[in-house]
Amino acid sequence: MSVKLKALADPVRLQLFSAVASREGGEACVCDIAAGVEVSQPTVSHHLKVLRDAGLLTSQRRASWVYYAVVPDALASLAVLLGADLRAEVTA
């Protein structure tokens, strides 16, 4: 879990993860994701690789484009972790 949280600690990666998660159909092409952030396409690709290596995204090549999708179990485990932390904070 710490690898996932470390990957999301970077503001650009958090923005990219959110962009993919909020896409209709649950997936997005690198070309579309790169248009929404103020970093170069190679930098976007690097950050997406970090998110993929952390188990937060999957990727699939279609012709010359790579499409990314959020791993459903990753969202569920993050929600459980954040919910547990919020409950601990309230009871403290």
> How many CB atoms are located within 10 Å of the residue 52 CB?
16
The pair of three-digit structure tokens given for residue 42, joined into one six-digit string: 């190679």
pLDDT band at 90 (very low <50, low <70, confident <90, very high): very low
Whether the Cβ atoms of residue 52 and residue 68 lie closer than 8 Å to each other:
yes
Q: Which fold has domain 2-91?
A: Arc Repressor Mutant, subunit A (1.10.10)
pLDDT band at 81 (very low <50, low <70, confident <90, very high): confident
pLDDT band at 84 (very low <50, low <70, confident <90, very high): low
Q: Mind listing the pLDDT tens digit for each residue in 1-43?
A: 788 889 999 999 999 998 998 888 878 988 888 887 889 888 9
Q: Domain segments of the chain: what residues?
A: 2-91
Q: Which residue has the higher pLDDT, 73 or 48?
A: 48
Q: Mind listing the pLDDT tens digit for each residue in 53-66?
A: 999 999 999 998 89
**Per-residue buried b or exposed e for 20-31, using 16+ beta carbons within 10 Å of the residue's own CB:** bbebeeebbebe
pTM for the structure as a whole: 0.80
User: Of 40, 16, 91, 30, which is closest to residue 65 (Cα–Cα)?
Assistant: 30
